[in-house]
Structure 1
Amino acid sequence: MALIALVGASETLPDGSLRALVTVAGETLFERQAARLADVGVTHIAVAVAAVPADLLATCDRVRRRGMKVTPVRAAADLIPLVEPDDRIILVADGLRAGGTHYAAIAKPGSPAILVTGDTVLTQGFERIDATRRWGGLASISQPMVAELAAMPGEWDMMLTLLRLAVQSGARRLYCEPALFEQGEIAIVTDRPTAALIEQSSLQQVEYGGMGLGRSAIMMPLIRLAGPLLVKSPNTARYLPHVTALLWIGVAALAASGLAAAGALVAILGGFGLTAMRFLSAFRAESAAQDRARDIIRTFAWVLLGVFPWLLALAGPGHRMPLFSEAALAPCLAATILLARALYEDSGERRRFHWLLPDADQAWIMLVPALIFGFAPLMFAILPLLALFQILLWLRLARRPDPR
Structure 2
Amino acid sequence: MALIALVGASETLPEGGLRALVAVAGETLIERQAARLADVGVTHIAVAVAAVPAELTAVCDRIRRRGMTVTPVRAAPDLIGLVEPDDRVILVADGLRAGGTHYAAIARPGSPAILVTGDTVLTQGFERIDATRRWGGLASISQPMVAELAAMPGEWDMMLTLLRLAVQSGARRLYCEPALFEQGEIAIVADRPTAALIEQSSLQQVEYGGMGLGRSAIMMPLVRLAGPWLVKSPNIARYLPYVTAALWLGVAALTASGLAAAGALAAIFGGLGLAAMRFLSSFRAESAARDRVRAIIRGFALALLALFPWILALGAPQRAAPPFAEAALAPCLAVTILLARALYEDGGERRRFHWLLPDADQAWIMLAPALLFGLAPPMFAILPLLALFQILLWLRLARRPDGR
* Within-5 A mapping of 1:283-302: 283-302=283-302
Counterpart CA distance in 1 for 2:402 and 2:9 is: 46
CA displacement at 1:403 relative to structure 2: 6.9
What residue in structure 1 maps to residue 225 of structure 2?
Answer: 225
Q: Which secondary structure state, in structure 2, belongs to the residue aligned with residue 374 of structure 1?
A: coil
Residue pair 1:36, 1:100 contacting (<8 A) in 2 also: yes
Paired AA for residue 3 in structure 1 = L
What residue in structure 2 maps to residue 152 of structure 1?
Answer: 152
Counterpart CA distance in 1 for 2:236 and 2:286 is: 11
Unaligned runs of 5+ in 2: none
Q: Does 1:193 align with 2:190?
A: no
What residue in structure 2 maps to residue 279 of structure 1?
Answer: 279
Counterpart CA distance in 1 for 2:403 and 2:370 is: 40
Q: Which secondary structure state, in structure 2, belongs to the residue aligned with residue 328 of structure 1?
A: helix
TM-score (norm 1): 0.99
Q: Which secondary structure state, in structure 2, belongs to the residue aligned with residue 242 of structure 1?
A: helix
* Within-5 A mapping of 1:321-400: 321-400=321-400
What residue in structure 1 maps to residue 251 of structure 2?
Answer: 251
CA displacement at 1:323 relative to structure 2: 0.9
Paired AA for residue 76 in structure 2 = A
Counterpart CA distance in 1 for 2:209 and 2:373 is: 31
Deviations 1:136-183 (A, max 9, x none): 000000000011011111111110000000000000001111111111
Residue pair 2:212, 2:355 contacting (<8 A) in 1 also: yes
Paired AA for residue 46 in structure 1 = A
Counterpart CA distance in 1 for 2:240 and 2:104 is: 27
* Within-5 A mapping of 1:3-402: 3-402=3-402
Residue pair 1:85, 1:143 contacting (<8 A) in 2 also: yes
Q: How many positions carry a matched residue from both structures?
A: 404
Residue pair 1:4, 1:45 contacting (<8 A) in 2 also: yes
CA displacement at 1:243 relative to structure 2: 0.7
Q: Which secondary structure state, in structure 2, belongs to the residue aligned with residue 318 of structure 1?
A: coil
CA displacement at 1:229 relative to structure 2: 0.2
Q: Which secondary structure state, in structure 2, belongs to the residue aligned with residue 175 of structure 1?
A: strand
Q: Which secondary structure state, in structure 1, belongs to the residue aligned with residue 352 of structure 2?
A: coil
Residue pair 1:325, 1:378 contacting (<8 A) in 2 also: no
Residue pair 1:117, 1:136 contacting (<8 A) in 2 also: yes
Counterpart CA distance in 2 for 1:165 and 1:263 is: 62
CA displacement at 1:349 relative to structure 2: 2.8
Counterpart CA distance in 1 for 2:16 and 2:191 is: 11
Deviations 1:76-125 (A, max 9, x none): 11101101000000000000001111101100100000001111111111
Counterpart CA distance in 1 for 2:373 and 2:393 is: 30
Change (3 A) 1:129 1:403: farther
Change (3 A) 1:225 1:111: same
Q: Which secondary structure state, in structure 2, belongs to the residue aligned with residue 82 of structure 1?
A: coil
Counterpart CA distance in 1 for 2:188 and 2:159 is: 15
Counterpart CA distance in 2 for 1:300 and 1:176 is: 40
Counterpart CA distance in 2 for 1:393 and 1:16 is: 57
Moved more, 307-316 or 225-234: 307-316
Deviations 1:277-317 (A, max 9, x none): 00001111110001000000000011100000000001224
Deviations 1:34-57 (A, max 9, x none): 111011111100000011111111
Counterpart CA distance in 2 for 1:69 and 1:266 is: 40
Paired AA for residue 73 in structure 1 = V
Deviations 1:245-278 (A, max 9, x none): 1100110011010000000000000000000000
What RMSD in Å do the two structures reach over aligned CA positions?
1.0
Runs of 4+ aligned residues of structure 1 deviating over 4 Å after TM superposition are none
Paired AA for residue 366 in structure 1 = M
Deviations 1:1-54 (A, max 9, x none): 100000000000012200000000101000000111011111100000011111
Counterpart CA distance in 1 for 2:137 and 2:59 is: 21
Counterpart CA distance in 1 for 2:386 and 2:100 is: 37
Paired AA for residue 105 in structure 2 = A
Paired AA for residue 239 in structure 2 = Y
Counterpart CA distance in 1 for 2:231 and 2:91 is: 27
Unaligned runs of 5+ in 1: none
